[in-house]
Structures are given as C-alpha cells and as structure tokens.
Structure 1
Amino acid sequence: MQINPACILSIFLLSFISISGASSAHNENDFLECLTVQFHRSNSDSDSIYTPKNVSYLSILQSSIRNLRPASNSRQKPVVIITPEHESEIQAAIYCSKKHGIQLKVRSGGHDYEGLSYISQTPFFIVDMRNLRSISIDTEKNTAWVQTGATLGELYYTISQKSKTLAFTAGVCPTVGVGGHFSGGGYGMMSRKHGIAADHIIDAKLIDANGKILDRESMGEDLFWAIRGGGGTSFGIVVAFKVQLIVIPETVTVFNVSRTLEQNATQLVHRWQYFADKIDDNLLLRLFLRSFNSSNGKRTIGAFFTSLYLGRVDDLLPIMQQKFPELGLVKEDCTEMPWIESTLFFAGFQGESLDVLLNRTQVSTAYSKAKSDSVMQPIPEHGLESIWNFLEEEEENGAELQFSPYGGRINDFSESEIPFPHRSGNIFMIHYGVGWADNAEYQRHINWIRRLYSFMARYVSKSPRAAYFNYRDLDIGMNNIKGNTSYRQASVWGFKYFNNNFRRLVKVKTEVDPTNFFRNEQSVPPTSTQ
C-alpha cells in the first residue's frame, strides 16, 4: 500500500461503532428538541439536522473522514450532525449545547489526524461546515472571502476562473478544509516565496461562545492573532476568512525526480539539507522518502525530489546547476504549466480536468498515524542510513517521510507575528507517516512510528521539540477528557506546537472563553478553569 505523497493521510472512514448508551438518551432528546425549537424560531431549515435515524446520517458522517484509526478507538457516535446553511443555525447549536451539556465539535474538511473534529469520549454533536463554502474573489483588490466549509481545491478552482496570475499559498491536497488548514498555519508549495496561508489572513468572521458574530474589528487584535495559526476551534467557530491573494507568473515549472540508494540517494538527501532553505525563494524543493521494490525486484529506498518553481524552466536550470548539480536535473525532467495545473500535479491528478478540484471526497480504506518534527542542523549520513533501516521494516510504500524546507518568506516574520512559530533557525520540517489496511496490525505500526520518532530525537529541535499543529499528534500530550486541564499539563503539548506563543494563546482563551466551552483533547485551556 502506498501513501500518496501529495495528500498524506487522505483516508476515508467506512464504519463507526455504536451510539452512546441509553443513560444519556433523555438529555440527548432534550438537546434535539432544543435544536428543533431554535431552528424554527430562526426560520431555519430543520433538514440541516441529522440524527442516527436519518438515512443520510451515516453517509454525512463518513463523507469527509480521512482516517479509520481514531474512530476505531472510539465508542461514541455524534448524537446529531448539523450542516448549517446560515449563521443563525450555528448560534442555535451553541445555545443548545450550553443548555444541555452536549459537547460541540466543528468540522470543515475532515483531514484531522487524530479525529478531534468527529470523535469524542463523551456525548457530542458535530457542526459540519460543508454548506458554508462560498468564495468571493475581488480581482481589483486581490482579496477573497472564503467560508471555512470550502476546500482548498474549491478555492484554487475559483481563483483560476477569475485570473491567470492570482493564486493563494496553502496546502496541496484539494479535499483539505479551509477552516482547519488556515487556522492551523497552512504550509504549501509556495511557502518559501509567499509564506503560509495564515500569514495572508486579513479579516475573519467568528461566532464566539456567547453566539456573537465578530469580525476583526469587533473581536480585537488578540483574538484575531490567535486564530491565525493557533487553531480556531479553541476560541470559537470561524465562519469565513478574508485573505490577501498573491500574484504569480502565468507559467510555473514543476518536476518530480527520483533517485534510489543505488543512485546515491543518501548523499543527495544529505546535500539537500545544506541549501534547501537557502536556495532561490521562487523554488520549493520538497523531499519524499520511502522504501519500494525497484524495477529489478530489489527492495530499495527512493528519494523523490518534488518541486515547484515560480518561473520558466530556462531560469530554473541554472539555479539547480549552481546549487544542486549532483541531482543532474535536465530540461526533460521539467514541465511548464499554469499554476492551477500545478495543483493537479502535486495532488496526483496530472492530466485530469480542473473539475477534479471540486470533488470533496477521496475514498480510502486505510488506517494511519503521523508525527512531525523541525530540523535545525543537517542530519548526518549515518543518521539517514538508520532512517532507511526503519523504512525497510514497513511494507513496500507503507511508510513515508516528507522533508519540507523552510526559509525564504517564512523567515521574514518573527516567531510571535502569529501563533505559528516555525520561522528562522529551522532548516526543514519532517512529516512521518505510516498507513495500513488491516487494523489487526494496529499496534505493530503504532510501535514502529513511535520507535522512529524516539530515535529521531537526537537530530531534531529540542527544548521544546517542535511539532506542526496541522499534523496533530496526541502522543505529545493531551488534555483531560473530563474535568479541567491545568496550564502545566497543557504546556506539555502546547509549547511543542506554539513555543512561547502558547502563553499568549492561553491568555486570549481566558479572555474570550473563560468557561472552556470550545474544547477538545488539544484545545488551548483558560486559566480560569484550573
């Protein structure tokens, strides 16, 4: 089984285990009645409410879940799924949630590594933002209002219909939801030239724990700061983001060149670490590493150099020949295309119609687990060779490491500009991923990725050991499922994601949601509940 290098962990859930017990049924019925009454009062369509008795309930629940693993460990199904079409329906959901004590989970896309948007250990319901996905482009001001239920694919497609030279810097997988991706950072193939998605958010519309609808001016700069990289679901429900679009050339260049151990992959990967964050800002040279069977049937390690250059091939080649002649890149390895077609290339849809970007589902039947690290010093060759040994333990194409370079525009901001702290001093980010089809093998694969993560401690950032919030990992620490979580306990994971910005995030949380209404296993806690 192969992990798609463009859409890591894009995995579809087929089944969910049984509903919560009858002991909470009365409270759940009262909650459902509350929703029905509140929706009626706001003249909203009650068809936006789905209970387990509804024939569409299961398909809606499953439609945007990408990972079988979290649900396989959960005993709870959502008591209700709400698919609001109006802000008043979200306000009603918040009101009824507070009144009857049913936990609210909000979901925009479903690329949620630990399933925190669709599972819980206590009775809960889902506000699924799928119907709030309008996108409005202003080509005169180069801005866009994007509702958080939209996917990256829908955003990219809509921009392409308005302009050939406007784009947005965000991730590569088209089914990723805007809400979680933007509020957690949003690294992508143009990040070295244009930063991450959160760097370009200029306004937002958020519904707070009191049901008030706020924009940047009314929410204040502290809360606006927090939802640009600190995770929106700790502070409210973000309904829409206003973003500044970027201007790009009409023609960009892509390539995906692979080298095996027999083709000096170890030396090439080692060399890559010394310039990937310092090369021309128009070039982002990403690395995917996995084991596979070569054409002669022999198991080997493959290093896949997957790149986007914001310009033409004749300008790219001299840069590569100067900075990375060892790769031996030639013109025939490269393809020129409009930027919008490059989004298909990196998502594995090269040659297909642009309409594929509007497809909100990607069916899979796999389980997966992921982790992340930041690297500040190059990993020596003997360290890389140890990584190869780990990769060879897993099935062919069953595990993958992704090296994503920092540098360029990412470094132009201070660590505290927004909650995303991974700026200067970091060479690249590592994403570790492993996938499997039979959950009987669960523990073996989990043990494998944890052993690899433990081994890598000697080569990555320390005090704290950094992690990327959008690659959520409950192994690094979590809140109490029931009861309050102390600042000290939350700091175990909080400083890994946000470094010193975690302190400010806690302060903002205390001011805007002191009762900790918006919460999950890794939500920012307020000090007032400790």
Structure 2
Amino acid sequence: MVPSSSSILSILLVLLLSPFIVSHALQDRFLKCLSRTSESSFPFSTVLYTPKNSSFSSVLQYSAQNLRFTLPSVPKPEFIFTPLQESHIQAVVICSKQLGIHLRVRSGGHDFEGLSYVSEIESPFIVVDLVKLRSISVDIEHSSAWVQAGATNGEFYYRISEKSNTHGFPAGTCTSLGMGGHISGGAYGAMLRKYGLAVDNVVDAHIIDVHGRLLDRKAMGEDLFWAIRGGAGGSFGIVTAWKVKLVPVPSAVTVFTVTRTLEQGATKLLYRWQQIADQVLDEDLFIRVQIGTANVSRQGKRTITTSYNAMFLGDANRLLQVMKHSFPELGLTRQDCIETNWINSTVYMSGFANNTPPEVLLQRINMDRAYFKGKSDYARKPIPEKALEGLWEKLFEAESPLVVFTPYGGMMNRISESQTPFPHRKGTKFMILYWSSWQDATENVAEHINWTRRVYSYMTPYVSKNPREAYANYRDLDLGMNRNSNTSFVEASAFGTNYFKGNFYRLVHVKTKVDPDNFFRHEQSIPTLPQQMGLRNEVEFISSKA
C-alpha cells in the first residue's frame, strides 16, 4: 500500500519536529527537578537560556574566547544555566545526574579547545556558566581574599588595589581569565619567579561534588584539595570559590618592552636570554620574550622581532643595576623604563597602552578575541642558535605567528613537583607557547592549525622528553583525547602524563575515589580506574606509578 502525500508530510513533520519536542521535554523535566530539589521558590527559568531565547547566542558567545568554537557547525548546548548562588549549582548537579544530562562548566571561556562550552563526544549537553558568581572579598588585615569562580583576573586585581597599593596576587597577565578555571590549571603570571603560581597561594576552596554537596577544604579532605589546585577543571567537581593569600608588592614597580630584530642581533640576544633568564636574573625580575614577524620595507621584506616584555618588583634605578649586572646585552636605558605601581603594571603586562586607567580591568570581555590554535612546550636547556634560525624559517611561513618564551626559576625551583598536580618546576628553564590566530572565519583554518603542528614537530629535539611536557591550561587535543563517556585510562594517560607527569596517577586515584562513575568528564578529563581492578590492586598500581 502506497502512503498518501498527507501521510508522508505528517511523517516528515514528526521527524523535523522531534528534536525540538525532545529538547523542550528535557528542559521541562530539568526545571521541575530543580524546583523539587531546591528548598527555595526561585524561578529557575529566569537563569536558563534555550536556543529559542533571543539572547541564547549572545550568552553562549559572551565569554567564548576561541571563535573557532562559535561557528554554526559546532555542537551547541541544549541550554545554558547561569546560577546566581552556590545552591543553584548544587541543584543542577543533582538534577543532571538524575536525568542523565551531561554538563560542561565555564568560568571565563579561555579553554583553548572550547571544552568548557562545547562537547564533541556527548549529546545532549548543557553549559553551567558561572559568569554571575563573581563576588570578591579582600581582607587586607589577614592578607587574604575569597574570589568566586566567575570573577576575572582583572576584576580581582582591581578589587585588591582598592584596598591596598602594597598587596597583589600572582596570577595570569590576561585580564579576562575566569578565576575558576584559571587557578584550577595552575595559573602563572609575571610574579611566578617571586611567588610561584596562583595554586601555590591557595589556602581554601569551595567545591560542589558529584553528590551536590558544597565542601570546603576541611570537608573535601586533603587529597581532593590537592587535586583541584592544578589538576585542571572539569574532572572532580565544580569549584565555586578560592581563598587565596595575597602577596606583598613594593609601591614602585617598573615595566618595559624592548624589541630587537634579526638585523639588531636578535638570535644571539635570545640565546643569551636563555642562559640567564631562569638562574641569573633577580627573582624580582620577569622578562618574557614575544617572538613574531614584521615588515621592514615597503616591498614587504619581513624580519623576526623579539620583544622583551618585563615587570620588575622595584624602582627603575635598582632595575638598571640588575640589568647591568645580569643582562647588559639588552642595552636597557632609563628611557625604556616605566615606573608605576603594581595595579598599573598589570594593565601594562596585559597589553594595554601605557597610562590606560586601571578601570579597564573591570572590562570582562576580551576585545582581542580571535580564531586560534595554540600549543605548549617546556625547555630544560637553551635552544642552540642554529635551531633558532630554523625556528625563524618556520615563523616566516605564517602570516601572523606568535611564539612566547616565559622564564621560570626563582620560587618555581623551590617548590616540589608533587606539592600540587602542576609538575613543571625545578629544572625548567622556560615555557613555550606556539600560537596562530586569524580574524576571518572563511580563512584556511587547516593551514593555521597545521602551522602550529609543524612548529611543534620541528621543536621536538630541543624541548622536554619522556614525557614531552605541556601546560594543562593550554589544552591541546593533538596530545590525545577521551573518545566517549567510558574514559579509557590508557588513552587518557597519553595526554595526562604530558600535563601532569607522575602526578597524573595520583589524580586518577583521587578521581576514582570522589567520582567513581565519571560524572564530571570531557575530552581531556582525568579518568577513573577500571572498577574490576579492585581497591588493593588500585593502591598497588598507583604506588608503582607515583
């Protein structure tokens, strides 16, 4: 019997509308569960955005820093939930677990691979966006502060400066980083040689676990507290706030940027910087090197530029003495130096023009968002001049490449690899970032991504080995990924040891203990050990690897 045209039309309508019907039903069940679970009468629908909402796209894209993951072809969440308080997140976790809904958590959206707001392996999924959890409480008397996960670096720095001009915090130089994810992965910045990482200065935290419980350090226990301070986000629960200790900064801080090209001896100068940046330089001094290309003639001839971008915890006169003793080759002059205070130095190191008012730190949106691909490395010995010349050739292959060398040493050498999950400590001379960005979605994306891979491959002989180390906050799916919800320990160890070295195995132990069913997961989350392994075998396994 041949179906009538009206029957065919009905079938097509059902097929076309079924995703919307399922989606609506899911949202309805979720909202009912939230109302049931929460003790308040809060109207949860007011903080839930679906694709039918006119503001859905703007909310989704608001803090999506990598525009590659905002394109129409990229999977979108069923809805976005923007909780106003911690109890809302507790209800979300409980209901997501009950209803079998996968969730992603976003605080600042700087994830290089978009894992905080995109899922390629889970469908359907939702995004819990912590953008409205941004309370900051600064206690100068006790040199401490509580900062919620949705607050940005810039907001936190500014609120500290409102209370004191001799206190600061050693986190990143990008001002739109969300404090939740930023600190979860380590968080390095211009004071790492003096005070270490942000995670080295965390003294307490609030986390919502897989059971929907709100735990502080005492309640979560030292194992979980260890894991969340550098074990990267999305694996153990939802961190909602950090308590950190503030660090002393002098009233006078000096910054400078000095650029040298190939024609000005950039290669030999950079080789010299590698020899002294981690060991010889005063730990009050941080000098990173930003390497790119520039045109030097109207005919389009290009050269390599090496920009020495620095912050010194002290006045210009003392800085000049330090530089004369340790790095005279740069030729720093008093005219190069900008003497200011700590809060203005954070503005400068963020890339804003000198004399930009510090209120710019309250601007949560990164105005330089782009399509990009990034990769990271760690160097334990200087890269030879000949190898640098080969790197220059790679940079000439790209339109607007960027490579950044960030110095270690100082306090980083005095903290054990196992004190936090972040293992890149003693013996690390500098970290490397490879970066390719573009502004037009129609550009050849594959070519940009392949450029970073070619540079990364070229650098293999000159960087850390066994494992080749990488920074967890610079997520890189090229290193490996979990292919489905049944996270494979073997597959995860490929990228896990890159990020965490031997600490990966302790992270697995903590994960298996606190989230045995792997509720909190993503493409590079920490896996659980197979249940059939048994507790005794698990302990023996972890002990053998740690």
Same fold, TM-score > 0.5, yes or no:
yes
Q: How far apart, in 1, do the equivalents of 2:384 and 2:63 lie?
A: 40
The 5 Å alignment of 1:442-453 reads: 442-453=445-456
Q: Give secondary structure in 2 for the equivalent of 1:368.
A: strand
Alpha carbons of structure 1 residues 19 and 385: separation in structure 2 relative to 1, 3 Å:
farther
Q: How far apart, in 2, do the equivalents of 1:258 and 1:77 lie?
A: 42
Alpha carbons of structure 1 residues 166 and 300: separation in structure 2 relative to 1, 3 Å:
same
Q: Deviations over 1:427-462 (max 9, x none)?
A: 000000001123441111111111111111110000
* Alignment correspondent of 2:60: 61
* Alignment correspondent of 1:11: none
Q: Deviations over 1:396-439 (max 9, x none)?
A: xx110000011001111110000000001110000000011234
Q: How far apart, in 2, do the equivalents of 1:217 and 1:402 lie?
A: 39
Instruction: Determine which structure has more spread, i.e. the larger CA radius of gyration.
Output: 2
Identify the match of residue 506 of structure 1 among 493, 498, 508: 508
The 5 Å alignment of 1:142-153 reads: 142-153=143-154
- 1:197, distance to aligned residue in structure 2 (A): 0.3
Q: Give secondary structure in 2 for the equivalent of 1:273.
A: helix
* Alignment correspondent of 1:194: 195
Alpha carbons of structure 1 residues 365 and 178: separation in structure 2 relative to 1, 3 Å:
closer
* Alignment correspondent of 2:26: 28
Q: Give secondary structure in 2 for the equivalent of 1:269.
A: helix
Using the TM superposition, name which of 181-190 and 348-357 deviates more: 348-357
Q: How far apart, in 2, do the equivalents of 1:41 and 1:53 lie?
A: 28
Q: Deviations over 1:8-35 (max 9, x none)?
A: xxxxxxxxxx999458536624543335
Alpha carbons of structure 1 residues 263 and 519: separation in structure 2 relative to 1, 3 Å:
same
The answer (yes or no) to whether the contact 2:38–2:91 under 8 Å persists in 1 is no
Alpha carbons of structure 1 residues 20 and 355: separation in structure 2 relative to 1, 3 Å:
farther
* Alignment correspondent of 2:135: 134
* Structure 2: stretches of 5+ with no match in the other structure: 1-15, 533-546
RCO greater where, 1 or 2, for CA within 8 Å and sep 6 or more? 1
The answer (yes or no) to whether the contact 1:110–1:177 under 8 Å persists in 2 is yes
Q: Give secondary structure in 2 for the equivalent of 1:232.
A: coil
Q: How far apart, in 2, do the equivalents of 1:126 and 1:226 lie?
A: 23
The answer (yes or no) to whether the contact 2:249–2:313 under 8 Å persists in 1 is yes
* Alignment correspondent of 1:177: 178
Alpha carbons of structure 1 residues 102 and 515: separation in structure 2 relative to 1, 3 Å:
same
* Alignment correspondent of 2:492: 490
The 5 Å alignment of 1:126-275 reads: 126-275=127-276
The answer (yes or no) to whether the contact 1:44–1:89 under 8 Å persists in 2 is no
Q: Deviations over 1:336-358 (max 9, x none)?
A: 00000011111122322221111
**RMSD of aligned alpha carbons:** 1.9
* Alignment correspondent of 1:527: 529
* Alignment correspondent of 1:282: 284
* Alignment correspondent of 2:330: 327
Q: How far apart, in 2, do the equivalents of 1:81 and 1:453 lie?
A: 35
Alpha carbons of structure 1 residues 414 and 365: separation in structure 2 relative to 1, 3 Å:
closer
Q: How far apart, in 2, do the equivalents of 1:176 and 1:286 lie?
A: 19
The answer (yes or no) to whether the contact 1:183–1:232 under 8 Å persists in 2 is yes
In structure 2, give the amino acid aligned to 1:126: V
Q: Give secondary structure in 2 for the equivalent of 1:233.
A: coil
Q: Give secondary structure in 1 for the equivalent of 2:175.
A: coil
The answer (yes or no) to whether the contact 2:311–2:349 under 8 Å persists in 1 is no
Alpha carbons of structure 1 residues 514 and 338: separation in structure 2 relative to 1, 3 Å:
same
Alpha carbons of structure 1 residues 453 and 308: separation in structure 2 relative to 1, 3 Å:
same
Using the TM superposition, name which of 287-296 and 517-526 deviates more: 287-296
Normalising by structure 2, we get a TM-score of 0.90
* Alignment correspondent of 1:343: 346
- 1:524, distance to aligned residue in structure 2 (A): 0.3
Q: How far apart, in 2, do the equivalents of 1:518 and 1:49 lie?
A: 20
Identify the match of residue 477 of structure 1 among 466, 476, 480: 480
In structure 1, give the amino acid aligned to 2:54: V
* Structure 1: stretches of 5+ with no match in the other structure: 1-17
The answer (yes or no) to whether the contact 2:38–2:88 under 8 Å persists in 1 is no
The answer (yes or no) to whether the contact 1:259–1:265 under 8 Å persists in 2 is yes
- 1:113, distance to aligned residue in structure 2 (A): 0.3
Q: How far apart, in 2, do the equivalents of 1:364 and 1:315 lie?
A: 34
| Equivalences, count | 510
The answer (yes or no) to whether the contact 1:74–1:119 under 8 Å persists in 2 is no
* Alignment correspondent of 1:37: 35
- 1:485, distance to aligned residue in structure 2 (A): 2.0
* Alignment correspondent of 1:14: none
Q: Give secondary structure in 2 for the equivalent of 1:274.
A: helix
The answer (yes or no) to whether the contact 1:20–1:75 under 8 Å persists in 2 is no
Q: How far apart, in 2, do the equivalents of 1:416 and 1:305 lie?
A: 31
Q: Give secondary structure in 2 for the equivalent of 1:316.
A: helix
The answer (yes or no) to whether the contact 1:19–1:78 under 8 Å persists in 2 is no
Alpha carbons of structure 1 residues 391 and 131: separation in structure 2 relative to 1, 3 Å:
same
Q: Give secondary structure in 2 for the equivalent of 1:130.
A: coil
Q: Deviations over 1:250-301 (max 9, x none)?
A: 0111000000000000000111100000111000110000011136653100
Q: How far apart, in 2, do the equivalents of 1:370 and 1:153 lie?
A: 22
Normalising by structure 1, we get a TM-score of 0.93
Q: How far apart, in 2, do the equivalents of 1:412 and 1:90 lie?
A: 38
The 5 Å alignment of 1:369-380 reads: 369-380=373-384
Q: Deviations over 1:99-138 (max 9, x none)?
A: 2221111100011100000001221111111111101011
The answer (yes or no) to whether the contact 2:187–2:198 under 8 Å persists in 1 is yes
* Alignment correspondent of 2:117: 118
Alpha carbons of structure 1 residues 127 and 529: separation in structure 2 relative to 1, 3 Å:
farther
The answer (yes or no) to whether the contact 1:484–1:529 under 8 Å persists in 2 is no
Q: How far apart, in 1, do the equivalents of 2:334 and 2:301 lie?
A: 29
Alpha carbons of structure 1 residues 159 and 456: separation in structure 2 relative to 1, 3 Å:
same
The answer (yes or no) to whether the contact 1:76–1:123 under 8 Å persists in 2 is no
